[in-house]
Amino acid sequence: MINRWLIKKRRRELGYSQEDLAIRVGYAEKSMISRIESGKLKDIPVSKAERISLILEIEIQDLVKGGYHV
C-alpha cells in the first residue's frame, strides 16, 4: 500500500501541484495523483512508485510500506 499522506506532505513541501507531480511521474492527468492522495487508488505500478520516490526525494520503502509518520 502507498503512503498517501507522505506523498501529499512532500508534494506540498516541494511546492508541486497535483498536476505538476502527475506530469513529472508520467501520468496524463492530475486525477491520478488526486486518486492516490485520497486513498481511492491504493496500489500503483512499481515504476510509478519509484518515480514518485525520486521526484519527492523520499525512500521507496517509506513510500510503499508507510514507514514514515507524518
Ramachandran sector of residue 40 (left: φ over 0; alpha: ψ -120 to 50; beta: rest): alpha
Q: What pLDDT is stored for residue 68 in this prediction?
A: 45
Helix (H), strand (E) at residue 36: helix 31-38
**pTM of the complete model:** 0.86
From the first residue on, what is the mean pLDDT of each consecutive set of 10 residues in the chain (70 residues)?
92 96 92 94 89 95 66
> What is the reported pLDDT for 1?
82
Residue 66 has a pLDDT of 53
Structural domain spans, the chain: 4-61
Q: Which CATH number fits domain 4-61: 3.30.565.10, 3.40.50.2000, 2.60.40.420, 1.10.260.40?
A: 1.10.260.40
Beta strand spans in 1-70 (E): none
Could you give the 3-state DSSP secondary structure of residue 58? Answer: coil
Distance of CA 70 to the CA centre of its chain: 14
